Each structure stands twice: as C-alpha cells, then as structure tokens.
C-alpha cells in the first residue's frame, strides 16, 4: 500500500498543533489513531501536504467521570479503552457497546472514539448513542476552548463545524437523569464488524408515573448526517409506554429517515430496519429506565 507524499508533523502541545493548523490551512490533515486517515490516504481520497499526529500531546487519552458533569473522553482514548473502561461500563454502558461494535479488536486497539466521530461518517458506530445522550465536543484553538453540542457538530459527510485552527480534544457526556435508559442497535450487511447499514441510538426518561418524560432518537446511515427521529420523539413524549406505542414510534422514525440505496443496503431495506431497530432500541431503553 503506497501513500501520497506529505510532510509529517508531531507537535507536543495543543498550542503548537493549533498554530500549525493555522499556518497550513487547507493543506494539512490531523491523525489520531489513524485507522480512518490511512485508508483515505491510501485511496487518494485526501492528499495533504502535511499530516499532523496529535499522539505526542499529553493529557488527551484520559477517561474521567464526575457525578455533576458526567463523562469526559479524551481525543486519544482508544475505542478499546472505552469498550473496557470501568467508568464507561458503570455510567454509560451503551457507549461501551457502540465502541465494541466498531470494526475488529485490532482496529479498536488503534482507533479512537473521537476520531470516529470527527471522521463524520453517517454510518459511524459511536455517533448515534452520543447524540441520544446529549454529548458535546470540546474544541480548542490552543488558547481557548468551546463546547459544540453534538447536534450542531456535523455539517455533512466528512464535514464538521470545527474551525480551521481548532482541534477536537474531548467528548463530554452529561450524567443521565433518574429513570433513564439508553440503547444502541445496529445492523450491518455481512457481519457484526462491518460498517452499519443502519444504526440507532435512543435515550428514554420516565416520570414518576412511568410515562415518557423525554426521549431522543438518533438514526445513522440514513441521511448525510445523523438524523433525529423528531416525529417519534414528539409522539412518545408524555405518553404511556406500551408495545403499541413503541411500534408506532418505530414507524414514525422510518418516515423521518431519508436513506439512499448503495452497496450495503437498499433504501427500502434501510427504511424497514429503521422501524425495527428503533422499536427494539426504545424497548430496551424503557426496560433500563424502569429498573
């Protein structure tokens, strides 16, 4: 496998890295784990003059949790680390499930969750659950930081709202409200490690009467960016959960999906799978919320 020629950069601080982004705007790409970037380079999908690794920047590989602010997942936290982290498994196990569903263990030992997010693929495994859980992306320009709600992060396939001199340094996931449950569901065309044909993240919160107080449903691989199933969310809010209402929500989610046909699945199949997986995700999230 040959790669295009480029100059390799390895800054040791955020300020240095962001200065390099500023200096080489339009001709530089960032590499964290590299599992997506190396493939894109080998296929000549990108041909940068400069490739910048952020692996030497300290403090970006941490995973932490605080009861008042929730989880923080650093930019260099590996998929395998998120999959196996006791903090993730205790406080957000569906993030671990999504990481586990990403590719093979060899890839998960190299790739990062935030890299998977910043690649901005509509079918990325780790995005739907993060969207459902109100995550935010922390971006730094070397001197100041800002939090970008994940609903505002994706602009299109491969495009995010990061500025030219910004690096995404962490994901923040707020703690769940009481009586909340989360689910991640995926179907892929060939095997569990294949790219998703459809994936769904769902968060459901119940009130004291076990009616739906709040719900977020994120659909992947059925649009140019992650889509929210707004009709299903509106329908379920303030409604008693039952098999009938969950099935109806699945049908409404399929109406909000706008998939295409490609090598992984037809448009019609994806629509059907949105209905099936949304119903399945909501049912599982409801079971967790009740317990």
**Is residue 29 classed as helix, strand or coil in its secondary structure?**
strand
Mean pLDDT (whole number) for 66-90: 98
Mean pLDDT (whole number) for 222-245: 98
Cα separation of 78 and 172, whole Å?
A: 15
pLDDT at residue 193 greater than cutoff 70? no
Mean pLDDT (whole number) for 213-222: 98
Mean pLDDT over each residue of the chain, to the nearest integer: 96
Cα separation of 158 and 224, whole Å?
A: 9
pLDDT at residue 192 greater than cutoff 70? no
DSSP string, 192-213: TTSPPSEEEEEEEEE-TTSBEE
- How high is the pLDDT of residue 282? 98
Give per-residue pLDDT as tens, 137-172. 999 999 999 999 999 999 999 999 999 999 999 999
- How high is the pLDDT of residue 1? 63
Q: What percentage of residues in the chain have a pLDDT greater than 70?
A: 98
Is the alpha carbon torsion for 151, 155, 161, 167 positive or negative? Answer: positive
- How high is the pLDDT of residue 189? 78
Give per-residue pLDDT as tens, 83-126. 999 999 999 999 999 999 999 999 999 999 999 999 999 999 99
pLDDT at residue 190 greater than cutoff 80? no
- How high is the pLDDT of residue 164? 96
Domains and CATH numbers, the chain: 7-53 (3.30.43), 63-173 (3.30.465.10), 180-290 (3.30.390.50)
Mean pLDDT (whole number) for 178-205: 91
Terminal C-alpha separation, the chain: 51
């Amino acid at each position: 496998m040959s790669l295009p020629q480029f100059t390799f950069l390895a800054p040791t601080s955020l300020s240095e890295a962001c200065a390099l982004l500023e200096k080489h705007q339009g001709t530089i790409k960032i590499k964290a784990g590299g599992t997506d970037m190396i493939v894109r380079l080998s296929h000549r999908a990108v041909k940068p003059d400069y490739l910048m690794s952020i692996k030497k920047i300290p403090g970006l590989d941490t995973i932490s949790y605080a009861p008042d602010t929730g989880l923080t997942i650093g930019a260099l936290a590996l998929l395998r680390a998120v999959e196996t982290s006791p903090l993730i498994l205790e406080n957000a196990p569906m993030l671990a499930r999504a990481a586990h569903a990403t590719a093979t263990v060899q890839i998960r030992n190299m790739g990062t969750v935030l890299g998977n997010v910043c690649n901005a693929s509509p079918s990325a495994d780790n995005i739907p659950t993060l969207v459902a859980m109100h995550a935010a992306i922390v971006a730094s320009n070397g001197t100041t930081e800002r939090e970008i709600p994940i609903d505002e992060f994706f602009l299109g396939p491969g495009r995010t709202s990061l500025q030219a001199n910004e690096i995404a340094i962490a994901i923040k996931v707020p703690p769940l409200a009481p009586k909340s449950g989360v689910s991640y569901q995926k179907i892929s065309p060939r095997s569990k490690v294949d790219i998703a044909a459809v994936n769904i993240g769902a968060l459901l919160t119940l009130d004291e009467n076990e009616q739906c107080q709040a719900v977020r449903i994120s659909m992947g691989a059925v649009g140019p960016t992650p889509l929210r199933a707004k009709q299903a969310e509106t329908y379920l809010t303030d409604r008693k959960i039952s098999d009938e209402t969950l099935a109806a929500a699945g049908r409404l989610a399929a109406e909000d999906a706008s998939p295409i046909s490609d090598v992984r699945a037809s448009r019609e199949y994806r629509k059907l799978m949105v209905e099936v997986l949304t119903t399945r995700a909501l049912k599982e999230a409801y079971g967790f919320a009740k317990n």
